[in-house]
Structure 1
Amino acid sequence: MTPALVALIHVTDVTRITPRMVRVTFTGDGLDALTAWPDQQLKLCFPRPGQDTPRLPDAGAEGDAMRWYQAFLAIPEDERPWMRSYTVRSHDPARREITVDFVLHDGESGPATRWAASAAVGDTLGRYGPDAAYAGQLPLDTADWLLFAGDATALPAISSLIEQLPDDARALACVEVADAAEEQPLAVDRPGVTVRWVHRQDASGGPGEALLHAVRDADIPSGETFAWLAGEAGTVRTLRRHLVGERGLAKGRIHFTGYWRRSLTQDDAPTEEDLAEAQERISALRAESESGAGQGS
């Protein structure tokens, strides 16, 4: 069965797993047919004020991402749902359910954070994806050593990646969270895998500083290394340049994604740095292809 790329999903459970993270369970059409893979991404559509259900494009364009997005943009702005990217934390096809973890950001909140902070059973969102066309093959079972680095927004993906590692994997995960209350128990039952929690409150600078220090201080053993980086876009760029310029990692051995931008949202126009990152990602994908390392979703 080919899963539907576009559908409404309905909240069946809401759990506050840390003070700043909410786990929401959804059910809906097509979730029983999804194929699971680590670091699985989807788009969530949040209703505008006054809407109980987000307005989605009419059926017919789901099989073509560009056509669907053009139809999405054709919806009047005051009726068009806010769309944000998230990671599928877990998938239960028998129950037709997925779970998604939402970070409750400090300070002024956007529509996704506002929704997650008050989410309740019965609430409805729209989804686009996950699309199997973007299910790349990361070298989780072929690299000699793996580095995962990200902030709280990357934690769901890092968790799913760790859970897919072979028993003899050697890896280090550096995760920046606000403080000790944000640490989560992860399913790390492999002796060669270490999770290093770093606290943003302990850093002298702003978001990302503690993570940068942790990666710079990490011992990278000899052998074939693969790095997976995600989180705030500027921090991810700095980490990648450190690994390439100072550690000598090949660009094709680093998968990187800017999940969010400081002081900006996905609705804002791309900055010059965003465009530069997009070009870097295109170059990295080419390098990955040439080196035999597949891309992530």
Structure 2
Amino acid sequence: MKQRLLDRLLLAARVHAVEQLGPRLRLITLTGPSLGGLAWVPGQHVRLQVAAGPSAVDWLVGTLRTYTVWNHLDQTIELIAVDHGDGPGAAWSRTVRAGDQLMLLKPQGSFVTDASAAYHLFAGEETAQVAYGPMLRALSAEARVFARLEVDSPEDRIELTPGQNPNWDLDWDYRHGRSAASAPTLVAAVRRLDLPPEPGVAYLAGEARTIQLIRRHLVDERGWPRRNVRTKPFWTPGRKGLD
């Protein structure tokens, strides 16, 4: 494993196992003493060194990509990688193997659930469901939830919750080959929701253009305050760093 200038600020870990959950889904388990005792709030992410960087700056930190933590327990972190696109993160997720060594930053980020929300609204595609699973599991059984998720096929779904909850309205749509970028069908699914009159807190993750469209609907059409809409863009076509 190549040594870089900022490695002293990162945590060392080893890939313990890689499990295929579906045609495009891989569960990657990381282990190592440096992962023990980390503070983690469901919804937070880690940044991994997945490849060399441009030659002029590779000596500094390499190429980092972001992955939401699916679970963290003791000295173990679980990640779920969604195989999409041709960027360095996708290339890493396709080739990573048990025994590989890597470096990562501590869990971070403010894209987490708000316990004081009147209700919670989740919307996104394949990459978003990786964040939503831990966030949903962290909610109380009494929390009211609305969720609309769009994936390409049933094989791209992840089991997000341990069971059914009568307070949760969670539904899936399938694109069947259509692009997930600027997805009008996901925006329409959110628009059709019969939400309570008062705003809740929305969590919008995944493809950046679709997030913008759903946020515009909530703020401009439903009158939600902007502070009630939390966003986490993971990717968008053609933008470096979000590939």
TM-score, scaled to structure 2: 0.86
Instruction: Measure, in 2, the Cα distance between the counterparts of 1:233 and 1:136.
Output: 15
Instruction: Measure, in 2, the Cα distance between the counterparts of 1:24 and 1:231.
Output: 19
Structure 2 letter corresponding to 1:196: D
Structure 1 letter corresponding to 2:147: A
Matched, 1:76 2:56: yes
1:1-297 matches, within 5 Å, as 6-48=10-52, 76-77=56-57, 81-93=62-74, 96-105=75-84, 109-131=86-108, 134-135=109-110, 138-139=113-114, 141-189=115-163, 190-201=165-176, 207=181, 208-266=183-241
SS at structure 1 position matched to 2:237: coil
Instruction: Measure, in 1, the Cα distance between the counterparts of 2:89 and 2:180.
Output: 23
Is the 2:44–2:111 contact (alpha carbons within 8 Å) kept by the matching residues of 1?
no
Greater C-alpha Rg: 1
Deviation of residue 47 (structure 1)? 3.2
Q: Please report the RMSD computed on the Cα atoms of aligned residues, expressed in angstroms.
A: 2.4
| Unmatched segments (≥5 aa) in structure 1 | 49-71, 269-297
Is the 1:202–1:210 contact (alpha carbons within 8 Å) kept by the matching residues of 2?
no
**1:102–1:185: structure 2 CA closer, same or farther, 3 Å change rule?**
same
Instruction: Measure, in 2, the Cα distance between the counterparts of 1:127 and 1:90.
Output: 15
SS at structure 1 position matched to 2:96: coil
**1:235–1:19: structure 2 CA closer, same or farther, 3 Å change rule?**
same
Instruction: Measure, in 2, the Cα distance between the counterparts of 1:113 and 1:218.
Output: 33
**1:22–1:231: structure 2 CA closer, same or farther, 3 Å change rule?**
same
Aligned residues: 233
Same amino acid, percent of matched pairs = 30
The Cα offsets for residues 210-254 of structure 1, whole Å up to 9 and x where unpaired, read as 311211111112334111111111111111011000011111111
**1:32–1:77: structure 2 CA closer, same or farther, 3 Å change rule?**
same
The Cα offsets for residues 159-206 of structure 1, whole Å up to 9 and x where unpaired, read as 111001111111111112111111222225322113211112276x65
SS at structure 1 position matched to 2:123: strand
Moved more, 222-231 or 248-257: 222-231
Structure 1 letter corresponding to 2:44: Q
Deviation of residue 29 (structure 1)? 3.4
Is the 1:44–1:84 contact (alpha carbons within 8 Å) kept by the matching residues of 2?
yes
The Cα offsets for residues 129-162 of structure 1, whole Å up to 9 and x where unpaired, read as 214xx457642x3222210011111111111110
More strand by share: 2
Instruction: Measure, in 1, the Cα distance between the counterparts of 2:232 and 2:110.
Output: 15
Instruction: Measure, in 1, the Cα distance between the counterparts of 2:187 and 2:12.
Output: 39
The Cα offsets for residues 3-46 of structure 1, whole Å up to 9 and x where unpaired, read as x9611221001011111111100012321111221111111111
**1:267–1:105: structure 2 CA closer, same or farther, 3 Å change rule?**
closer
Structure 2 letter corresponding to 1:91: H
4+ residue segments displaced more than 6 Å? none
TM-score, scaled to structure 1: 0.72
Is the 1:5–1:129 contact (alpha carbons within 8 Å) kept by the matching residues of 2?
no
More helix by share: 1
SS at structure 2 position matched to 1:201: coil
| Unmatched segments (≥5 aa) in structure 2 | 1-7
Instruction: Measure, in 1, the Cα distance between the counterparts of 2:39 and 2:117.
Output: 24
